Amino acid sequence: TGDTPTAFIQESSCLFDGTNVLEAPDSNSFSFGNGVKDQPFSISCWVKFTSLTNNQVLVAKSSSGFSEWYLFKNTGDGVLRIHLQDIDSSGALGRAAAVSTDTITAGLWYHVAVTYLGNAGESANTTNSNGLKIYINAVDCTDSYATGQYYSAMHNTVANPSIGNFDDEMGSYGLDGNL
């Protein structure tokens, strides 16, 4: 079940309708890797989904061909996922991911936090812990991990940090709810 945030958060949250996105200019402050080594980071937000259709991005630094990381709700199973991407100049892709155990219910507020220790490259080509954790309402809900054999570290790309969708607004990934 969902928790209830303070009245300020409920009244001050942004309502996304699945078609809009908040975007900031590219900044090194939102890049957590240099192609050789990742840096630790955390993401935290309150979210209330209006509907559960489609994949829905909460926050990201990702666009076509320039993906670093993104936190989203998966359509098929209704769980939260965090993906870290390792895309080098040749287009080779490696991915580190974590998946939550808890499914999300529409209409309820959830406090979501993701932490990363910066060490996914050390667990390449395994399903061992890769330093990613997903917390829902302060409970570690990390269910599984996967790190592709080609993952070493995120690259600092030109993708813009965004809220509610990818920065190039891929239609099927828009958030439908409050954040």
Per residue in 6-29, pLDDT (tens digit) is 777 778 899 999 888 899 999 999
Mean pLDDT of 83-110: 84
Residue 49 is predicted with a pLDDT of 94
Asked whether the beta carbons of 165 and 98 are under 8 A apart, the reply is no
22-23/132-136 β-pairing: unpaired
**How many Å apart are CA 37 and CA 25, to the nearest integer?**
23
Q: What percent of the chain has pLDDT over 90?
A: 47
Q: How far apart are the first and last CA of the chain?
A: 17
How many angstroms separate the CA atoms of 101 and 143, rounded?
A: 5
Phi and psi at residue 136, to the nearest 5°: -125, 120
Largest CA distance in the chain: 48
Dump pLDDT digits (tens) for 36-46.
899 999 999 99
Least confident range of 46-50, 64-68, 88-92, 175-179: 88-92
- Give, in order, the Cα–Cα distances in Å from 100 to each of 2, 3, 15, 43, 83: 15, 17, 24, 15, 12
Task: Say if residue 135's pLDDT is above 80.
Answer: yes
Instruction: Give percent above pLDDT 70 in the chain.
Output: 93
C-alpha to C-alpha distance for 46 and 40, rounded to whole angstroms? 21
13: closest CA among 25, 26, 22, 2? 22
Kindly report which listed range (68-77, 78-87, 161-170) carries the lowest average pLDDT score. Answer: 161-170
Distance CA 3, CA 45 (A): 13
